[in-house]
Structure 1
Amino acid sequence: MSLPSSPADFSGLWIPLVTPLRGGQVDHGALAALCRRLAPQGIAGLVVCGSTGEAAALDETEQAAVLETVAAAAPAVPRIMGLSGQHLGRMLERVRRFGPDRVAGLLVSAPSYIRPSQAGLLAWFEAIADASAVPVLLYDIPYRTGVTIAPETLLALAAHPRIVAVKDCGGDAGKTRALIADGRLQVLAGEDAQVFATLAEGGAGAIAASAHLHTARWARMVALLREGRLAEARRLWQPLQPLVDALFAEPNPGPLKALLAQQGEMANELRAPMTCASDALARRLAGLLARVSVQ
């Protein structure tokens, strides 16, 4: 399978989209409107069907329809598709459906629940990358999958020509620094509270759910950090921190959807077993959002 003619670049700010729901079904009108709002605000691209998008609660037909809506609403904006599963054969079947006409890359996590060895993780990701026609981004998120991708495994995977980046939710600052120092994988901060630190250390970008809100401010901050303009970036970041903390005070994307619903962008609806944010948190979030607007 041929490789892209130019190196893949996943730097900058990526938004992991929520999936609007209404009456138990995907609200494609709200999703399209959300994409049209986000597209011109300086973002690098959109991540479809990640954990923020409640992908585990969507069947494959729904996931495919969500991707098509995003592509139609913001055709010029690059898209990363999230893929997860435990059955390698079925994962490979899905991977082969995505060509560069549909997505810029695939965001792939370790198989959850199974807790394979590091050798098993190496084989898992290499098989997926071998089958893919587009670049692969590793999703290191042990608190969801139950397994940590060791630094040595990540560095071994960096040798694969289609594995180009990592969404870093590993919670290990030493591993983050080692990956940045190695330089072969683009390191994207995946924990919103760690975006400033990761980019200040030399990370390439971020996949940040909080950036659904004050998106242009987030995009400007990321750009300033990548230019090494820390003092200017800090002035944008500090007012965002309380809002970011509150957005993850209850399971994501409940708090985020509560705020987007308050703004009239979608219904405040999630799929079980996910639940809506508490009323107390929703009120607190509204105040924090408004406070950022005046700083």
Structure 2
Amino acid sequence: MRLSGSITALATPFTASGELDLDAWRSLLARQLEGGTQAVVVAGSTGEAAALYDAEYDALLRSAVELIAGRIPVLAGTGLSNTAKTIELTRHVAALGADAALVVTPPYVRPTQAGLIAHYQAIAEDGALPLVLYNVPGRTGGDLLPDTVAQLAAHPRIVGIKEAVSEPERMNALLALKAEGFCVLSGDDPTACRAMLAGADGIVSVGSNVAPGAFRRLADLARGGRRAEAEAWDARLRPAYDFLALEPNPIPVKALLASQGLGHGLRLPLQSLSAPHHEAARHAAGLIVELEHLCRDTLAA
């Protein structure tokens, strides 16, 4: 498996009463396919995986696998704080039809680098699915360092990394590890254009939930080396990046999804977007409509 381009870390829609909204979920998936998204992640941090019951997790993944029907890869978030449980969940999602597992560094427990190597190698050796490493220190409390990634990248079942550390030095160190069987993906929307222009294979995006066409265009331009056009398009997306950073993910993106008729909020302890940001949400929603229309018009031409 080689992942590349615009990949969406899917949000999970809920009904007004807080139940899983599978109709909205299927609409979200259909819009991703229509917009040109090149892979999706089910039940990652953007998908509020920690707030999902087991049956809900299964329903989301089954629905995604069924609707997508092999047209693009479906990744499932399986990273937990314990290695044995992560292996068990990875086996489970393989049986449900996932194409790969996105495995975040173990949250909260803060293992050493040697512990991270042992953790990922054990999951990879179990062989249930190809693994994509996921490093997001701000959420997990641990940092998967490039030297550690270099050791893990040699394993044939470890096929890439989603890196959310935004500093260019970190991305450059990881880009040196790119190989036929190992991809490097940006996990940070605001710096993804820079990363892809430098050689990153793609982006695992939050914003592409609401603007799949715009992020596909960004990925195509940047990965195609069209620097001036990519940077100009990235600048047009900048107000959306700024809005999505106003409160912790996925609060802002779910406000935008609600404006598109896809869901009604979050589960505690997360709460809906604060009232002072509602005007910013309206502006961001308008911008996204404009950019998505432009992408569709360009495609039609």
TM-score (norm 2): 0.91
Answering whether residue 11 of structure 2 is matched by residue 15 of structure 1, we say: no
**Matches of 2:175 and 2:202, distance apart in 1:** 11
Q: Give the C-alpha shift of residue 273 in structure 1.
A: 0.6
SS in 1 for 2:93: coil
- Residue 215 of structure 1 corresponds to 212
Distance 1:226 1:149, change over 3 A: same
Matches of 1:101 and 1:120 in 2, distance apart? 29
Residue by residue over 1:246-276, the C-alpha shift from the partner in whole angstroms, topping out at 9 and shown as x without a partner, is 1121011111111111222222x20111111
What is the alpha-carbon distance in structure 1 between the residues aligned to residue 239 and residue 283 of structure 2?
A: 11
Whether the 8 Å CA contact 1:20–1:28 is kept in 2: the answer is yes
Answer whether contact 2:46 2:250 (CA < 8 A) is retained. yes
Aligned to 1:277: 273
Q: Give the corresponding residue for 1:164.
A: 159
Shift of 1:132: 2.9
Shift of 1:214: 2.6
Gaps of 5+ in 2: 292-301
Which position in structure 2 is the counterpart of 1:122? 117
Q: Does 1:252 align with 2:246?
A: no
Q: Distance in 1 between matches of 2:198 and 2:229?
A: 16
1:46 match: secondary structure:
strand
Match of 1:4 in 2: none
Report Cα offsets for 1:83-141 as digits up to 9, x if no partner.
Answer: 12122222212222233871221000111111111110100010011113321000011
> How far did residue 49 of structure 1 move?
0.3
Q: State the match for 2:298 in structure 1.
A: none
Residue-pair matches, total: 287
- What residue is the counterpart of 1:49 in the other structure? 43
Is 173-182 or 19-28 further displaced after alignment? 173-182
Query: 2: CA distance between counterparts of 1:100 and 1:11?
Result: 24
2:187 to 185, 190, 196: 190
Cα distance in 1 between the residues matched to 2:95 and 2:226: 34
Give me the whole-angstrom Cα distance separating, in 2, the residues matched to 1:122 and 1:24.
38
Residue 143 of structure 1, aligned match among 138, 145, 165: 138
How far did 1:45 drift?
A: 1.2
Deviation by residue 1:127-181 (Cα, 9 ceiling, x = unmatched): 0111133210000111111111111101000111011111011234222101112
Q: Does the 8 A contact of 1:32 with 1:70 survive in 2?
A: yes
1:74-153 superposed matches below 5 A: 74-75=68-69, 76-99=71-94, 102-153=97-148
Local SS of the residue matching 2:34: coil
Distance verdict in 2 for CA 1:101–1:88, change over 3 Å: closer
**Structure 1 residues 183, 248: CA separation in 2 closer, same or farther (over 3 Å shift)?**
same
Q: What RMSD in Å do the two structures reach over aligned CA positions?
A: 1.6
1:290 to 269, 276, 286: 286
Higher helix share: 2
Distance 1:24 1:266 in 2: 9
CA distance in 2, matches of 1:273, 1:101: 29
After TM superposition, the score normalised by the length of structure 1 is 0.92
In the TM superposition, what is the alpha-carbon distance from 1:74 to its structure 2 partner?
2.4
Aligned positions of 1:23-62 closer than 5 A: 23-62=17-56
For the residues of structure 2 that align with 1:84 and 1:100, how far apart are their CA atoms? 17
Consecutive unaligned residues in structure 1, runs of 5 or more:
1-7
Identity %: 34
AA in 1 matched with 2:287: R
